[in-house]
Amino acid sequence: RIAAGNVAGADSSLMARLRRAGLVTLGRTATPEFAYSTTTEGILYGATRNPWDPTRSPGGSSGGSGAAVAAGIVPIAHATDAAGSVRVPAAANGLFGLKPTRGRISMGPDTDEVFNGLAVHGFLSRSVRDSAALLDLVHGPEAGDPYAAPRPERPYTREITRSPGSLRIGLLTRPWGGRAVEGTVLDAVLRSARLAESLGHRVAEVQVELGIGWEEFVQANARLWSTNLVTWIDGFATAFERRVDLTTLEPETLASYVYGRRVSGAEFVDALAMRNSVARAIGRYFTEYDLLLTPTLPELPVPLGTYAEDAEGVDGLGWLEQVFHRSPFTAAFNIAGTPAMSVPLETDPATGLPIGIQFAAGYGREDVLFRLAGQLEEAAPWARRIPAVWAGNRQDA
- Angle separating helix axes 128-138 and 366-379, nearest 10 degrees: 160
Treating both helix axes as pointing N-terminal to C-terminal, what angle do 366-379 and 183-198 enclose, rounded to 10 degrees? 90
Q: Looking at residue 310, what is its pLDDT?
A: 58
Q: Quote the pLDDT of residue 7.
A: 86
- The model's pTM: 0.96
d(CA 204, CA 63): 33
Q: Which fold has domain 13-396?
A: Amidase signature (AS) enzymes (3.90.1300)
Confidence at residue 392, expressed as pLDDT on a 0 to 100 scale: 73
Q: Are 83 and 340 in contact (CB under 8 A)?
A: no
Residue 66: its pLDDT value, please? 99
366 in Cβ contact with 101 (< 8 Å)? yes
Q: Which amino acid appears at position 205 of this protein?
A: E
CA distances from 93 to 29, 59, 225, 298 (A): 15, 8, 26, 15
With a cut of 50, which residues of the chain have pLDDT below it? none
303-339: per-residue pLDDT in tens? Answer: 999 986 556 667 889 988 999 999 999 999 999 999 9
| Residue among 378, 376, 383 at smallest CA distance from 359 | 376
How confident is the model at residue 397, as a pLDDT? Answer: 60
Where do the domains of the chain lie?
13-396
The pLDDT of residue 312: 64
The string of pLDDT tens digits covering residues 176-231 is 999 999 999 999 999 999 999 999 999 999 999 999 999 999 999 999 999 999 99
Q: Provide the residue type at 130 as one letter.
A: D
Query: What is the rounded distance in angstroms from the CA atom of residue 365 to the CA atom of residue 337?
Result: 11
